[in-house]
Structure 1
């Protein structure tokens, strides 16, 4: 009985330590909201904000147009194949609440949309995803976002 109590206590401590020792948050810093490689839109009062990060190969308008032409040709060839669909060009993140205002990014490790596109998009998704954008007054907005699902 004594060993069983120790085993249960050790297991609980291990699980609690493992759960709190891993930071499962990802911070993506959008330094240029007018970049071709991303899309940003909000409703004016930040009740609904969307961020769109293009996948690798779709970063510029020229590349997207070229891919659309190739996809259109493929679709023409496979017109009878009803299961053939055009692949998605990026990932959409959505926030339905106002952002938190930050004065600095000193304590936050961020990645760029480019790093996300090249590395993170293919990895396991973290529990919490935040997108950080610059503000006009030199501070930053931190948005908690969720990935928009496609059906």
Structure 2
């Protein structure tokens, strides 16, 4: 992978060897507000440090998130609610529907690599409750990104 950084040492572009490209944009507070994955653009609205809305390229809300101490709920663009289940480390281990049916289930190793994932619903929050980029597998930690494959920050 090839990384490009801005003047504030924030990752603004990641090029994969297979040709995939991820680009990041940041708001005045330094939080990621834009994600472009191979031309598919998402925008993020924050409340403090945490994402509360995810918008598509037309700025239509795709998902809303409610957080307490950990992630609590996700409301998608169809009005369907799902609930987060976290372990003591803050990892998202399950995503359940309104009736308690398990929609997603995850396990991780000590470095954040996904050991198993079963998904029926799109969910960007994974290891330590952090947002994971689908293309690169990196976790967005606000000040920098973490690559679990090499257990290093990028």
How does the TM-score come out when normalised to structure 1? 0.26
Greater helix content: 1
Greater strand content: 2
Task: Please say which structure displays the higher CA radius of gyration.
Answer: 1
Q: Which has the higher contact order (CA 8 A, sep 6+)?
A: 1
